[in-house]
Amino acid sequence: MGTGPHSNRAVLADGELQRVPASRAQADRLLAQARVHVASALKVRDEDPAGGYALAYDGARKALTAILGNEGLRPTTRGGHLAVLQAVRA
């Protein structure tokens, strides 16, 4: 883990992430949901661009959250979606 302002240590210290038991099974569930969301986004993108975007965004968020969960990390309500992105980048 790095030590910069967006490192996993920093977001853990700020309460944006919390340690949880690592779970490959939970990560696999989130990845399956992410795949369905992205496939659905592709189906509705022309008729409902805003809805398609929301599905694609949620699919990406779940995929990134799966990476964290596999490592034993989970975003808190304080960290929200931005903490997920920062933690995966770190």
Note down pLDDT in tens along the chain; length 90 residues.
Answer: 445 555 666 667 678 888 999 999 999 999 999 999 999 999 999 999 999 999 999 999 999 999 999 999 988 887 677 778 787 777
Instruction: For residue 60, tell me if it sits in a domain.
Output: yes
- For residue 1, being part of any structural domain is answered with no
The per-residue pLDDT for 1 is: 45
Is 72 a member of any domain?
yes
Domain housing 59: 8-89
Dump the DSSP string for 37-82.
HHHHHHHHTTT-HHHHHHHHHHHHHHHHHHHHHHTTEEE-TTTHHH
Residue 85 lies inside a defined structural domain of this protein: yes
Instruction: Note whether 81 and 61 are within 8 A (CB).
Output: yes
Q: What is the pLDDT of residue 76?
A: 85
Task: Please state the pTM of the whole predicted model.
Answer: 0.78
Domain membership flag for residue 58 = yes
The number of folded domains in the chain is: 1
Phi-psi region of 72 (alpha: psi -120 to 50; beta: other; left: phi over 0): left
Residue 2 lies in a domain: no
- 36 domain residue, yes or no: yes
In a domain, 32, yes or no: yes
